[in-house]
Amino acid sequence: MAMTDDAQTDFTKLTDADWRERLNAAEFRVLRQAGTEAPFVGEYTDTKDVGVYSCRACGAELFRSETKFDSHCGWPSFFSPLAGEAIIERHDDSLGMRRTEVLCANCHSHLGHVFAGEGYDTPTDLRYCINSISLTLSTD
């Protein structure tokens, strides 16, 4: 599990060796190498607990449970991040298709992808499909 530091740490300056000390092998593969955990196995896929989801790598707050919804896709889904500046969205052309990757703005760790226009009954028509292993839930 990731260690937390004070607000003075510039997580974007950490090396792969630093990250390997902070994260276990599965966390490193997803968060630092843009891997994906298997569907329907993540800790938070079906969680209904109320709280704040933070980046497992650096502790930055990313999503609130009030924006989590059942998409039945196999990963936790949110219709909005906590704040626009909490995440970075960038084009991802891997796997032969154009997707939008979601990164933690604080440490640039891979969280998952965001999809638009899928027809979910949510206020934004967005689905932030996030790997459970990228998150830590703090309950109220």
Catalytic residues: 129
Q: How far apart are CA 87 and CA 109, in angstroms?
A: 10
Token code pair at residue 43: 């800790």
The pairing of strands 126-130 and 110-116 is antiparallel
Token code pair at residue 7: 């607000």
Query: Smallest Cα–Cα separation from 107: which of 57, 54, 62, 53?
Result: 57
Judge whether 39 and 73 are in contact, CB under 8 Å: yes
